[in-house]
Amino acid sequence: MMDLHCHVDLYPDYGEILSDIENSGYYVLSVTTVPSAFKGTAYLTKNLANCRTALGLHPQLAHQRLNELPLFDSLCGDTRYIGEVGLDGSRGYTEYIETQKLVFEHILNKCCEFDDKIITIHSLNAVDEVLELLKKYPRSGIPILHWFLATKKQVSNAVELGCYFSVGPAMVNSARAKRVISWLPRNRVLLETDGPFAKTDGKPALPSDVVLVIRYLSELWGITIDQVQDVLKLNLKYLVSSKNA
């Protein structure tokens, strides 16, 4: 299985998260929030063959770390994975939305120089704006919309753009999120935790906690847990074997 959106460097207990990644054997994408954290985060998991590190610049930090874009550019060739990036239109960040767009567009444009990027994207309260930029830069990479909260029409638009969707344990405890999950095509669903920010039983979610999503999808789709796992494994295999359009 997989956890395609996990903030490994931000867990309070490195031993716990690194042990969970190793023991689960899951394919884990360790996302970063600023380019300056990339090398240190990659070092944390250097002995874990099943973990990859993504290069990110989180939209909530875009206005503070605009100066790190040259560093992002210099590191972009070091990893196939980009994230966490995107836009955030929630209260407290709307005043910086133009800076966020500048940063996100710069990142997408840079990614167009490559043919294999996989991008995990934050789109809270800014779904239309995110999709508009993805449409503008179709060669930037394969988008994974993380913790996607949207309308049915927005889901449809995202599917048309070739997006995948990563679903975490915290989402299956939300009526709104469950409604969105019900609209997702099975062949575009992936798993995430968004730990340590997202919690499971009051504790930071760990990659092994994605089993909660698998159980939920089994009920939703009306198939066995083994069949759900087969679908998800195939989705991951297709994702990592794909090149940009």
Amino acid found at 87: L
Kindly report, residue by residue over 188-216, the tens digit of the pLDDT.
Answer: 999 999 999 999 999 999 999 999 999 99
Q: Give the structural domain span for 143.
A: 2-241
Domain count, the chain: 1
Q: What pLDDT, on a 0 to 100 scale, did the predictor assign at position 244?
A: 65
Spatial separation of the C-alpha atoms in residues 21 and 17, rounded to whole Å: 6
Average pLDDT over residues 3-22: 97
Spatial separation of the C-alpha atoms in residues 201 and 245, rounded to whole Å: 40
Q: What pLDDT, on a 0 to 100 scale, did the predictor assign at position 243?
A: 76
Kindly report, residue by residue over 214-245, the tens digit of the pLDDT.
Answer: 999 999 999 999 999 999 999 999 999 987 65
147-154 contact pairs (CB < 8 A, 24+) = 147/5, 147/122, 147/171, 147/177, 147/192, 147/194, 147/198, 148/123, 148/180, 149/124, 149/176, 149/177, 149/180, 150/123, 150/180, 151/127, 152/183, 154/127, 154/128
Average pLDDT over residues 149-153: 98
User: Is the confidence at residue 89, as pLDDT, over 90?
Assistant: yes
CATH number at residue 235: 3.20.20.140
